Amino acid sequence: MRRFYHGLQYGISTDSLFHTEVRVDRLRSNSTPQSPNRSALTPEEKHLSENKTSLTSIEARVCPTAPSLCLRIQGLAVVRRQNASRLLPQGNTVWVCGHVTNATPNFSEHVSSHISAYSSGVPKAAEFGKCSKCNTEWHVELRDLGTHDVSLIFTRWIDVGPGLSPEDPRWRSLLLYQNEYEVDPQDVIFSPRLRFESSLVEGGTKNTMSDEELYLRNASFLEEKRYMAAGGPTAVESTQPESRRRRSSGCVTM
């Protein structure tokens, strides 16, 4: 935001914040009634049936009208279709903002209902929501990915605020365990999703990908493990089961 207020010689560009991470984690259990005969699987098929691949992409835009920094964060979790019931991490942990987590009544049920509907053969339509306290918007959807996989798509749009004070409620309200902060009702009327998608990047050009374009870009990294080529020799895969995952990163950053 300093760059926005004072010129290009200050701060950093929003483009420098853009990044995509991919990690692979072992599923806790390999025994599901729908699992194919494991003895007939190739090593590659066995690897894919035992793991969950997760992708996170982050973008930032400065919205000049009522200046604010807005973020779009998209997460994809991908497993074999027979493992769709295990798309959510241990304990159904989903964090949207400081006010909406897996402990929030009805929220984890929203996500679980999409997984249950998909597993029953009647997928639900994409669902959008918004936190009334900090203005964070979110989108959840399940889609087939390639021939054998299913992806859980979870996208958030966040208004971080103008960056003028570390005590700004628009910033503080986003922090976990800071849910006593609420955004001024006048700021809630602005949609961070619409603001992000309509804003110009530095230089006055508009090249923001649509939600669909973003998904297709991210999904292309996961199909046939193309992220390994994009990540180069630094690619790292975590082999720890979800219940024993350490806090250190095991990611491919692109």
Whole-number Å distance between alpha carbons of 7 and 86: 48
Q: Note the pLDDT of residue 169.
A: 80
What is the rounded radius of gyration, in angstroms, for the C-alpha atoms of the chain?
19
* pTM assigned to the model: 0.79
Domain annotation covers residue 1: no
Cβ-based burial of 244 (10 A; exposed 0-12, middle 13-18, buried ≥19): exposed
Ordered mean pLDDT values, 10 residues apiece, the chain (254 residues): 90 88 78 52 59 91 86 92 81 69 71 88 88 86 91 92 85 70 72 81 61 90 72 42 42 43
Q: Note the pLDDT of residue 251.
A: 45
Cβ-based burial of 170 (10 A; exposed 0-12, middle 13-18, buried ≥19): buried
Q: How many domains does the chain have?
A: 1
Give which of 41, 53, 66, 70 is closest to 222, Cα–Cα: 53
The position carrying tokens 């090249």 is: 207
Domain annotation covers residue 9: no
Domain annotation covers residue 41: yes
Q: Note the pLDDT of residue 142.
A: 94
Sequential DSSP letters for 160-192: EE-SS-TT-HHHHTTSTT-TT----HHHHTS-H
Domain annotation covers residue 183: yes
Whole-number Å distance between alpha carbons of 14 and 42: 43
Cβ-based burial of 208 (10 A; exposed 0-12, middle 13-18, buried ≥19): middle
Domain annotation covers residue 192: yes
Domain annotation covers residue 7: no
pLDDT in tens, 53-108: 999 999 998 888 788 899 999 999 999 998 888 887 655 556 787 777 766 766 77
Cβ–Cβ < 8 Å for 112, 84: no
Q: Note the pLDDT of residue 108.
A: 75
Instruction: Find the domain containing 96 and state its range.
Output: 15-253
